[in-house]
């Protein structure tokens, strides 16, 4: 099939490039070594602007696909335009006039024509239009056409500049509108794209024909031709499908190779427990494990008993019982003579884990570890027990101290703890991610649990090496963020996934409602009646973008206000500017039931576990993202009591309205995550931006799930057990993903 749509025009050639380039050099891999500035029309400052915008090579350029298309075949003539309806009209600018009416008001008037009719167009305060809309420019205008004194007019329509009306590239039926890059607009990009495409043809296709046939995929050259210059809109779907497949395929090939390389280069530990610590622990719990916990523990045990190091992602809603799974896992490791570590994103969360884990162990009679009475959260205590004693208690230590305020408190014992870790006197160490990053010396680290809570977007490359020997410890990453399948197949695609998809029995879904800011009285009543029944409430203050300080100030003010509203109740305050020790005093009081209403910033978002709290009020809820709202709601409904979440919101944007509606409609985190993808669209998924999926240029994680499933299957089958691919596909993956591969994976 010839390259659709681009046969009519004859501007050819890269700047300074020889006219005939061997076909072998027309692969995407090769094109990603050709600087974009070699494309005709991009040798000067436009090329530099593209480079700055991340389009550095010809391959980058070719993968910069139009954001939309103007379809001339459906264009409406001015003579027939339906007044009052949303339409797109294509016209030529005849005259532009800029009027500065007063200081803050500039009006741009343009007279446009489609050759027969006349259209007057007005924009307010868009002075730049004067430059953009020079006489003779052809533009597509989208908006409502009105009739005023017999004349047709549009106010502030959306403008797509097609180009100079004499230009051949916009005379086709479908005009592509590429996203601007810096100052370089769609017209220039279109011309450059055309040149680049012609110059790179014929382009080789790295995928075997059998695969293309089987999956009914278009060949690559045709796909690139059609996506940039379709003959008709009907060409787009198949072209896009092929390019989306390619994009996922490259990613999945890289993931498959990484997985193989890891399996090849690392030798894991075959854990052989010499006593039933894990069993003792599980049978000592005051509840029986859920079916999901049993299943997941089975999956983990298979990993622990094999010699391949575990790389497993454990997904489970807040409250689904991940901590129990983590402790049971580490106890197997401890029983086999190794140490375990649990790492949390912050010191406060590490402290929470320490409390949670020791509570569970004390409850099961497995440690006499001093917990709350003697040691405050940040004290460090290590029991002094002989190493070899078979029934010795499990020794758990909290290691903190990267924080200066904390370290003055615990400096003395920090070194003791470090020593105990190095000598093997500690079985389970709990700390922040710095445990590993700072290279704390373990006697025999056998497994690490990393709790990412919902911050999975920022996970970094984590390198674990056992101190004893060359074996790699097992790794379990826990996340409470429900991750849509597409994301777990890309973001975490080299990990095995376990799912805790069952809540412990007796949990009631949190009743969620929306209320307007002006009507807070029912919310206050709810809080009063819950407190009267012995329960507690959280009130989360509005999010203040980028500033902990301002947020703290506003929380302090809200606390003062609510202290008056609830004059007879005990109202506490917690925000990010407080010192860790101060926060801890507040949290202890909350836990002890000495605070009725806790006014807080989002510092309470994660890790707070207070079963007696039954009300979560979120102020200005429309300003929070869905995953954050879900996390906040997860702070209540953790005990046996019915719980409530009130979203105080007056959303005005479509997104805001959709988010609040989704929260009210469901408490299912997975559905919310899918909904979040749908609402926010691609590129901005959670915090995925830092984590690599934002590098998807064409694919859409929600809409393209089926293609992703195909691409993953084919990629893993093609890679097989190979460690590298030295064919064109391998070169392409290397060339296109390049350095970015590094932070895509956990290794
Ligand atoms: P997560 O870490 O997934 O948020 P946790 O492990 O902290 O959840 O568990 C939440 C609460 O539920 C804890 O109080 C825990 O003791 C309790 N829990 C865990 N598993 C069960 C179970 N199978 N049955 C009843 N309660 C459980
Ligand atoms: Mg937890």
DSSP letters for 613-681? EEEEEETTGGGS-HHHHHHHHTTSS-SSS--EEEEE----SHHHHHHHHHHHH---HHHHHHHHHHHH-
Architecture of domain 511-666: 3-Layer(aba) Sandwich (3.40)
* Ligand 1 near 319 CB (within 6 A): yes
Cα→Cα distances 278→324, 332, 617, 662, Å: 10, 6, 39, 40
pLDDT the model gives residue 526: 96
What DSSP letter does each residue of 104-131 carry, written as one string? TEEEEEEEEESSSSEEEEEEES-TTHHH
* Ligand 1 atom nearest to 326, measured from its CA: 6
pLDDT the model gives residue 166: 62
Q: Give the pTM.
A: 0.65
CB 693 within 8 A of CB 487: yes
* Ligand 1 near 504 CB (within 6 A): yes
How far away, in angstroms, is 479 Cα from ligand 2 center?
9
> Probe ligand 1: pick from 282, 287, 324, max atoms within 8 Å of CB?
324
Q: For 460-478, what is the HEC assignment?
A: CCCCCCCCCCCEECEEEEE
How far away, in angstroms, is 320 Cα from ligand 1 center?
6
* Ligand 1 near 324 CB (within 6 A): yes
Pick the ligand that lies closest to the CA of residue 638. 1
Architecture of domain 74-171: Beta Barrel (2.40)
* Ligand 1 near 321 CB (within 6 A): yes
Neighbours of ion ligand 2 (CB under 5 A): 323
CB 527 within 8 A of CB 515: no
How far away, in angstroms, is 186 Cα from ligand 2 center?
49
Pick the ligand that lies closest to the CA of residue 611. 1
* Ligand 1 near 502 CB (within 6 A): no
Question: What are residue 160's phi and psi, to 5 degrees?
Answer: -120, 120
How far away, in angstroms, is 327 Cα from ligand 1 center?
12
pLDDT the model gives residue 459: 40
* Ligand 1 atom nearest to 324, measured from its CA: 6
Cα→Cα distances 578→193, 405, 587, Å: 54, 11, 12
Closest residue by CA, ligand 1 atom 27: 504
Handedness of CA 283, 288, 293, 299 (dihedral sign): positive
* Ligand 1 near 315 CB (within 6 A): no
* Ligand 1 near 357 CB (within 6 A): no
* Ligand 1 near 287 CB (within 6 A): yes
Closest residue by CA, ligand 1 atom 10: 319
How far away, in angstroms, is 244 Cα from ligand 2 center?
37
Domain boundaries, the chain: 1-68+179-204, 74-171, 511-666
Please list, in sequence order, all residues whose beta carbon lies within 8 angstroms of the beta carbon of residue 660, skipping any fewer than 6 positions away: 514, 621, 622, 647, 649, 651
* Average pLDDT for runs of 10 along the chain of length 747: 41 42 73 92 92 92 91 82 86 92 90 92 87 86 88 90 70 83 88 91 92 96 94 91 94 86 84 92 93 96 92 84 95 95 80 82 72 35 41 80 40 70 89 73 90 50 53 86 63 78 85 93 96 96 72 88 96 87 86 95 72 94 85 86 94 89 88 75 39 62 80 94 91 78 42
Q: Strands 105-113, 86-102: parallel, antiparallel or unpaired by DSSP?
A: antiparallel
* Ligand 1 near 325 CB (within 6 A): no
pLDDT the model gives residue 227: 95
CB-count burial class (<10 Å; 0-12, 13-18, 19+) for 18: exposed
Question: What are residue 383's phi and psi, to 5 degrees?
Answer: -75, 150
């Amino acid at each position: 099939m010839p390259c659709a749509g681009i046969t009519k025009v004859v501007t050819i050639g890269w700047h300074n490039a020889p006219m005939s380039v061997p076909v072998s050099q027309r692969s995407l891999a090769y094109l990603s070594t050709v600087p974009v500035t070699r494309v005709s029309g991009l040798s000067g400052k436009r090329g530099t602007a593209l480079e700055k915008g991340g389009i550095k090579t010809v391959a980058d350029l070719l993968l910069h696909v139009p954001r939309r298309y103007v379809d001339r075949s459906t264009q409406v003539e001015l003579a027939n335009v339906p007044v009052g309806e949303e339409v797109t009209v294509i016209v030529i600018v005849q005259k532009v006039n800029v009027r500065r009416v007063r200081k803050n008001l500039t009006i741009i008037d343009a007279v446009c024509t489609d050759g027969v009719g006349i259209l007057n167009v007005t924009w307010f305060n868009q002075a730049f239009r004067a430059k953009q809309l020079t006489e003779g420019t052809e533009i597509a205008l989208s908006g409502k056409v009105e009739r005023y004194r017999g004349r047709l007019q549009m106010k502030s329509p959306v403008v797509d500049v097609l180009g100079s009306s004499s230009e051949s590239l916009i005379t086709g039926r479908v005009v592509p509108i590429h996203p601007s890059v810096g100052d370089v607009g769609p017209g220039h990009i279109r011309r450059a794209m055309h040149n680049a495409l012609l110059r790179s043809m014929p382009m080789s296709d790295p995928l075997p024909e059998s695969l293309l046939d089987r999956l009914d995929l278009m060949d690559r050259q045709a796909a690139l031709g059609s996506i940039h210059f379709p003959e008709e809109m009907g060409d787009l779907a198949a072209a896009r499908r092929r390019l989306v497949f390619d994009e996922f395929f490259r990613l999945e090939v890289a993931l498959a190779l990484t997985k193989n390389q890891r399996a090849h280069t690392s030798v894991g530990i075959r854990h052989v427990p010499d006593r039933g610590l894990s069993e003792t622990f599980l049978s000592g719990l005051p509840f029986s494990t859920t079916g999901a916990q049993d299943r997941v523990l089975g999956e983990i045990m298979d990993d622990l008993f094999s010699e391949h190091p575990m790389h497993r992602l454990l997904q489970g809603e807040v409250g689904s019982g991940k901590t129990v799974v983590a402790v049971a896992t580490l106890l197997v490791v401890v029983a086999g003579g190794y140490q375990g570590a649990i790492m949390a994103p912050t010191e406060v969360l590490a402290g929470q884990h320490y409390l949670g884990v020791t509570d569970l162990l004390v409850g099961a009679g497995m440690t006499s570890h001093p917990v709350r009475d003697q040691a405050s959260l940040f004290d460090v205590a290590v029991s002094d027990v002989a190493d070899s004693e078979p029934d010795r208690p499990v020794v758990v230590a909290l290691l903190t101290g990267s924080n200066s305020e904390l370290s003055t408190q615990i400096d003395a014992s920090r070194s003791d703890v470090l020593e105990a870790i190095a000598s093997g006197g500690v079985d389970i160490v709990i700390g922040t991610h710095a445990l590993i990053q700072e290279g704390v010396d373990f006697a025999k680290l056998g497994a690490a649990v990393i709790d990412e809570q919902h911050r999975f977007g920022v996970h970094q490359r984590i390198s674990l090496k056992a101190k004893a020997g060359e074996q790699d410890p097992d790794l379990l990453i826990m996340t409470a963020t429900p991750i849509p399948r597409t994301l777990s197949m890309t973001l975490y695609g080299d990990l095995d996934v376990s799912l805790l998809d069952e809540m412990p029995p007796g949990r009631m879904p949190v009743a969620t409602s929306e209320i307007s800011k002006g009507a807070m009285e029912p919310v206050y009543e709810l809080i009063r009646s819950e407190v009267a029944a012995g329960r507690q409430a959280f009130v989360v203050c509005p999010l203040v973008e980028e500033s902990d300080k301002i947020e703290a100030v506003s929380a302090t003010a809200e606390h003062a206000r609510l202290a008056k509203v609830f004059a007879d109740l005990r109202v506490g305050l917690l925000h990010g500017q407080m010192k860790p020790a101060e926060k801890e005093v507040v949290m202890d009081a909350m836990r002890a039931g000495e605070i009725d209403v806790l006014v807080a910033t989002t510092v309470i978002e994660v890790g707070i576990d207070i079963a007696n709290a039954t009300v979560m009020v979120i102020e200005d809820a429309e300003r929070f993202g869905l995953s954050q709202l879900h996390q906040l709601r997860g702070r209540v409904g953790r005990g046996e009591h019915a719980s409530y979440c009130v979203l105080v919101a007056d959303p005005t944007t479509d997104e805001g309205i959709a988010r609040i509606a989704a929260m009210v409609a469901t408490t299912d985190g997975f559905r919310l995550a899918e909904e979040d993808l749908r609402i926010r669209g691609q590129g901005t998924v959670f915090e995925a931006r830092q984590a690599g999926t934002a590098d998807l240029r064409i694919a859409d994680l929600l809409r393209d799930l089926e293609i992703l499933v195909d691409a993953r299957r084919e990629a893993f089958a093609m890679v097989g057990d190979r460690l590298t691919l030295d064919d064109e596909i391998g070169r392409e993956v290397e060339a296109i993903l390049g350095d970015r591969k590094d932070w895509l994976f956990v290794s």
